[in-house]
Amino acid sequence: GSGVGSRQRKIKAAYQFFLYTLLGSVFMLLAILLILLQTGTTDSQISLTTEFSERRQIFLWIASFASFAVKVPMVPVHIWLPEAHVKAPTAESVILAGIPLKLGTHGFLRFSIPMFPKATLRSTPFIYTPRAIAIIYTSSTTSRQIDLKKIIAYSPVAHMNLVTIGMFSRAAAVRSPILSYGHTRPKHVCRACDPSTY
């Protein structure tokens, strides 16, 4: 019946969330192990002052980027987010919008960008165009939705890709976290004002 189908979709959403998170964690583990081999510690303050070769910086940057991209989330590794939002109860959906989505942007600002500056500088041009396309794609997808919960599920993908462009633009180094914070408040208000949709 419909109850069984709904349960199966919730299980599928949970598996997607787990598998995408696991995939991102594997890349992060590789980056941490490589940093540990070179510095002998996982202390971020020591790692920030360590001079990595440009080639190693690029590898570490790619590994950390892949990990944080899952949590932002960036297209095409955003599939887990709409499913998780739609199938999650209201309380879990609020937590999902308020915490996990910020972990990716925090990781970029706290680790990837300051720790691997040369790799970041070389990779920045390749960030803008794909993210701009992702914003257009996810915005058009959002505009086609008629279910409020799906609209609120798809909209953060476009928003967080905009935040990502801001993070990799030096002029927007301060504005990007503000945009990220601003994304959370309206979503929480929507959920609080219309709990019937959740």
pLDDT for 32-80, tens place per residue?
998 888 888 877 777 777 788 888 888 889 998 888 888 888 888 887 8
pTM: 0.74
Tell me how far apart the terminal alpha carbons of the chain are, to the nearest angstrom.
Answer: 21
Helices and strands in the chain, H and E counts: 11, 0
Confidence of residue 198 (pLDDT cuts 50, 70, 90): very low
Nearest to 153 by CA among 78, 99, 61: 78
How far is Cα 167 from Cα 55, in angstroms, rounded to an integer? 23
SS3 content of the chain, % helix, strand, coil (to 5): 85, 0, 15
Ranges assigned E (strand) in the chain: none
Coil, strand or helix: which one is 183? Answer: helix
Distance CA 139, CA 17 (A): 22
pLDDT above 50 for 21: yes
The total domain count for the chain is 1
- Select from 137, 128, 129, 138 the least CA-distant residue to 165: 128
pLDDT at 110: 83
Average pLDDT along the chain:
77
Rounded to whole angstroms, how far apart are CA atoms 167 and 173? 5
Let me know the angle formed at the C-alpha of 161 by 147 and 139, rounded to the nearest 5 degrees.
Answer: 35
Determine the structural domain holding residue 113 and report its residue range.
2-197
